[in-house]
């Protein structure tokens, strides 16, 4: 799903590279922590995955695409399969919760019917059912971050990137956010979360990729933060299940693109499905990891995902009904389409690039061999 091959990133005017010769691969369905001190290169990695930036050397492959060969014109379509949340929530303060969640869908031209169903679904997934009419300033920090997660999930992305999503929250609220991210992952979405906070990483016992000053220090399956004694405590069947669900999601996406999307989108989706199925085969073929510790470690590996103080977040979400699967909106039906969105305050969100609202500049990125 994501592959870094000898990735080095140098920013203009800086002597030291922000990332040096980084190599890792993330499979569909994984939950990965990207950890390291401030300035270690975590956000740079996430920006490379989102193709907000390209490597100075090496290759970043995300969702089956080499980000360097992806044209600027295609980038917004690529990003529709990726949700992103940030430390500072980035909500539109002048819009209600529901409008914030609906906003991206409107900009990409989703139908009213889709939006009407998808927004309450997304709010329910994050435990905010019925809160759509509130304004962001009426919510706590944790609730605002839930809105941001709902917005990131509303188009059913295959991948969720979270850059220090708990950085502005108190520990109790942060745990709620972690539960939601774990739940999102349990439904087949790959999650990559950057954090410098040890607590969650220790508790979650998922894969940890640690950076230090742009160098990959550690890439450990299911390790705790700074604790190398706990390895491989995630039960293999969990991985298999996640891989299988992810493959099913990918296949349903093919179905959807074939019936509703463009030929190019169908080809893209097919490639992703092939990748997903190959990963299932890999996961099944891989030798079962020996637990480093007896049963208690395995039981402690994944904290149960419980509703946070009565919130219905533990309700499993049906995985990718074809209608709800992320994908490009076909250009041909137009019948129930929301009218073009006037006065779109995308700059407020820094989302112009993500949504393809910048002028085309295809020549900027050429194919690489
Ligand atoms: P982290 O997210 O782990 O705090 P970053 O990826 O933001 O780390 O930054 C890694 C290094 O790259 C830091 O030294 C930072 O100062 C530098 N850096 C990040 N973005 C830029 C930029 N746009 N221009 C110049 N240097 C940058
Ligand atoms: Mg950062």
3-class DSSP string for 257-285: HHHHCCHHHHHHHHHHHHHHHHHHHHHHH
- In ligand 1, the atom with minimum distance to the C-alpha of 211 is 3
Higher pLDDT, 239 or 335: 239
Copy the structure tokens of residue 63: 């969702």
From 44, 48, 50, 53, give the residue whose CB has the most ligand 1 atoms within 8 Å, as the site to mutate. Answer: 44
Per-domain boundaries in the chain = 2-220, 234-287
Per DSSP (E only), the strands in 167-265 are 190-195, 207-212, 215-220
Q: Residue 350's pLDDT band (boundaries 50, 70, 90)?
A: very low
Residue 265, pLDDT above cutoff 60: yes
Other beta carbons within 10 Å of 334:
10
pLDDT of 278 reads: 73
Residue 262, pLDDT above cutoff 80: no
Q: Is 347 left (phi over 0), alpha (psi -120 to 50) or beta?
A: alpha
User: What are the tens digits of pLDDT across the range 131-146?
Assistant: 999 999 999 999 999 9
- C-alpha to C-alpha distances, 230 to 29, 216, 290, nearest whole angstrom: 21, 19, 11
Q: Which residue has the tokens 């980084």?
A: 22
pLDDT of 266 reads: 79
User: What are the tens digits of pLDDT across the range 141-178?
Assistant: 999 999 999 999 999 999 999 999 999 999 889 999 99
Q: Residue 90's pLDDT band (boundaries 50, 70, 90)?
A: very high
Q: Residue 300's pLDDT band (boundaries 50, 70, 90)?
A: very low
Residue 196, pLDDT above cutoff 60: yes
Per DSSP bridges, beta strands 57-62 and 19-26 are unpaired
Residue 46, pLDDT above cutoff 50: yes
Please, are residues 84 and 163 in contact by the beta-carbon 8 Å criterion?
yes
pLDDT of 290 reads: 47
CA-based Rg of the chain, rounded to a whole angstrom?
20
Ligand with smallest separation from the Cα of 36: 1
- Which of these ranges, 44-53, 89-98, 250-259, 299-308, has the smallest mean pLDDT? 299-308
Q: How many angstroms separate the alpha carbon of residue 48 from the centre of ligand 2? A: 13
Residues within a 6 A CB radius of ligand 1: 11, 14, 18, 36, 38-44
Closest Cα partner for 250 from 207, 191, 190?
A: 190
Q: How many angstroms separate the alpha carbon of residue 328 from the centre of ligand 2? A: 29
d(CA 104, CA 80): 9
pLDDT of 335 reads: 43
Copy the structure tokens of residue 240: 């298999």
- In ligand 1, the atom with minimum distance to the C-alpha of 16 is 14
Q: What is the dotted CATH code of the domain comprising 2-220?
A: 3.40.50.300
Q: Residue 212's pLDDT band (boundaries 50, 70, 90)?
A: very high
Q: How many CA atoms lie within 13 A of 200 on its CB side?
A: 28
d(CA 192, CA 354): 18
d(CA 283, CA 288): 9
Closest Cα partner for 59 from 47, 70, 68, 71?
A: 68
Residue 364, pLDDT above cutoff 60: no
Q: Which residue has the tokens 């933060």?
A: 225
- C-alpha to C-alpha distances, 171 to 32, 76, 287, nearest whole angstrom: 20, 34, 37
Please, are residues 204 and 222 in contact by the beta-carbon 8 Å criterion?
no
User: What are the tens digits of pLDDT across the range 231-245?
Assistant: 333 445 555 666 666
- C-alpha to C-alpha distances, 101 to 150, 173, 254, 259, nearest whole angstrom: 6, 21, 25, 26
Q: How many angstroms separate the alpha carbon of residue 86 from the centre of ligand 2? A: 9
**Is the dihedral angle over the CA atoms 183, 140, 138, 94 positive or is it negative?**
negative
- Find all residues with CB under 8 Å of 296, minimum gap 6, and list them: none
From 18, 163, 212, 216, give the residue whose CB has the most ligand 1 atoms within 8 Å, as the site to mutate. Answer: 18
Mean pLDDT of 288-306: 42
């Amino acid at each position: 799903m994501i592959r870094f091959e000898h990735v080095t990133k140098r920013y203009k005017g800086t002597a030291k590279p922000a990332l040096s010769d980084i190599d890792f691969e993330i499979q569909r369905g994984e939950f990965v922590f990207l950890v390291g001190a401030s300035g270690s290169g975590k956000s740079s990695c996430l920006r490379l995955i989102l193709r907000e930036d390209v490597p100075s050397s090496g290759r970043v492959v995300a969702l089956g695409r080499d980000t360097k060969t992806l044209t600027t014109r295609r980038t917004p379509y690529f990003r529709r399969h990726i949700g992103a949340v940030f430390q500072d929530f980035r909500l539109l303060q002048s819009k209600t919760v529901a409008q914030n969640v609906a906003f991206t869908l409107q900009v990409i031209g989703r139908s009213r019917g889709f939006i009407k169903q998808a927004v309450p679904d997304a709010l329910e997934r994050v435990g905010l059912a019925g809160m759509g009419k509130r304004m962001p300033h009426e919510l706590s920090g944790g609730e605002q971050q839930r809105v941001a997660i709902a917005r990131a999930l509303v188009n059913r992305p295959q991948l969720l990137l979270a850059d220090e999503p708990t950085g502005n929250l108190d520990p109790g609220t942060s745990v709620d956010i972690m539960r939601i991210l774990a739940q999102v992952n349990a439904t087949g979405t790959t999650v990559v979360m950057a954090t410098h906070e040890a607590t969650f990483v220790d508790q979650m016992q998922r894969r940890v990729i640690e950076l230090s000053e742009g160098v990959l220090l550690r890439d450990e399956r299911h390790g705790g933060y700074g604790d190398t004694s706990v390895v491989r405590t995630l039960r293999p069947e969990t991985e298999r299940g996640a891989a299988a669900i992810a493959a099913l999601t990918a296949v349903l996406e093919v179905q959807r693109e074939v019936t509703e999307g463009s030929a190019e989108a169908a080809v893209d989706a097919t490639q992703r499905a092939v990748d997903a199925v190959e990963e299932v085969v890999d996961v099944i073929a891989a030798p079962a990891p020996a637990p480093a510790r007896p049963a208690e470690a395995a039981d402690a590996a994944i904290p149960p995902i419980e509703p946070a103080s009565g919130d219905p977040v533990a309700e499993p979400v049906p995985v990718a009904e074809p209608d709800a699967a992320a994908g490009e909106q076909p250009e041909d039906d137009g019948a129930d389409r929301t009218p073009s969105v006037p006065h779109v305050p995308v700059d407020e969100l820094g989302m112009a690039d993500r949504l393809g609202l910048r002028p085309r500049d295809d020549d900027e990125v050429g194919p690489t061999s």
